[in-house]
Amino acid sequence: MSDPNDLAAFLDLGWQRLTRGVADRRAAARHPVFATVSPDGAPEARTVVLRVASRAQGTVEIHTDGGSDKVTSLRSNPRAQLMVWDEKAKLQIRLSTYVTIHQGAEVADRWKNVPEGSRIAYGASPTPGTPIPTAQAYTKVASLEWFTVLSCRIDAIELMQLIEPHRRAVFLRADGWIGAWRVP
């Protein structure tokens, strides 16, 4: 490894690993944990697929079913964290984000690009999380009506790397991503 004190190179590594997650189904960043806060204040974490990672805009994008609990939670508290553990790079990536919810005509173009076989993930009757008497007592709807894009504006990136000695840094949108070291 080059200079371990090079903050800019550390941030480059974080973005490389993130963007790989969008392009490569086997990359660790393909499946971040996405954590929100429920309307009654409880933490909720679940696995999602990373659909877009834009370093230029400092955003990532998740696609979901508009009837899912996470959407209700984001309406009451739009702050969410994404977390990736990338074992190959020995790197934990935490993104603190502010999420905007996009549906309907706004996302019709993106819906056209969702492969037929994947559309089934968006829409269920009754809605996701509803108690049902047997495992298969639901139908899939697969419609634009439920397709929901979560656009996550990254406000902070925290990187923690388990090389020896460990290193950890925080990069903030508010100060132009200059970054600062933290005790790991």
In the complex, the residues that contact ligand FMN under the rule CB under 6 A are 31, 44, 46-49, 62-65, 68-70, 128-129
Q: How many CB atoms lie within 10 A of CB 12?
A: 12
Q: Among candidates 148, 168, 52, which has minimal Cα distance to 103?
A: 148
The nearer residue to ligand FMN, 19 or 68, going by C-beta atoms, is: 68
How near is the Cβ of 68 to ligand FMN at its closest, in Å?
3
Of how many residues is the chain composed?
Answer: 184
How near is the Cβ of 72 to ligand FMN at its closest, in Å?
8
Q: Is the dihedral of CA 164, 19, 143, 136 positive or negative?
A: negative
Q: Which helix (H) or strand (E) holds 139?
A: strand 139-140
The nearer residue to ligand FMN, 17 or 63, going by C-beta atoms, is: 63
The nearer residue to ligand FMN, 16 or 38, going by C-beta atoms, is: 38
Alpha-carbon gap, residue 178 to 184, rounded angstroms: 18
How near is the Cβ of 15 to ligand FMN at its closest, in Å?
20
How near is the Cβ of 174 to ligand FMN at its closest, in Å?
28
Tokens of 126: 């009754």
The nearer residue to ligand FMN, 7 or 33, going by C-beta atoms, is: 33
